[in-house]
Structure 1
Amino acid sequence: MKKTLVMTALMVCSSLAFAHGCPGEMKKIDERLPSAKLAPAEMSKVKDLRAKGEQLHKDGKHAESMSTLGEAKKLLGI
């Protein structure tokens, strides 16, 4: 029982950490977008990934959000 409680607490804490990381990642993307020198197709993909990441964050899917935002950051060279 004690192990179950500890594991549950760790899972909640890690979810909260991801939840707080998403807005910071979105901010980094938003700051880089105006100066990014990308082809129109790549810029569109970055914007789509950023929007998808925000929606995943709002849906509580923080690990997926961080992964999606990471893809956008990679395209931006962040």
Structure 2
Amino acid sequence: MKKWLIASTLICTSSLAFAHGCPGEMKKIDSALLATQLTPQNMSKVKDLRAKGEDLHKAGKHTESMAALAEAKKIIGIQ
């Protein structure tokens, strides 16, 4: 019982931390867009992925949001 309680606490805590990571990732992308020169095609992709990430975040789909934001960051070349 004690192990189950610890495991469920860790899962809940990590889920909350992950859910709040989306806005931070969006801020990183926004900052990088101001300082980075991309081709018009890549700029469009990044903006679309960033918007998709925000929409998914608002819908409560944080895993999918983080995946879209990670793809946008990869195109920009940030971590």
**Normalising by structure 2, what TM-score?**
0.84
Superposition map of 1:1-78 within 5 A: 4-78=4-78
Unmatched segments (≥5 aa) in structure 2: none
Tell me how far apart the structure 2 counterparts of residues 48 and 10 of structure 1 sit (CA, whole Å): 33
Q: Distance in 2 between matches of 1:74 and 1:53?
A: 14
With 6-15 and 20-29 compared, the bigger mean Cα shift is at 6-15
How many pairs does the alignment contain?
78
State the AA in 2 paired with 1:56. L
TM-score (norm 1): 0.85
Question: Gaps (5+ residues) in structure 1?
Answer: none
**Structure 1 stretches (4+) deviating beyond 6 angstroms?**
none
Taking only the aligned residue pairs, the percentage that are identical comes to 68
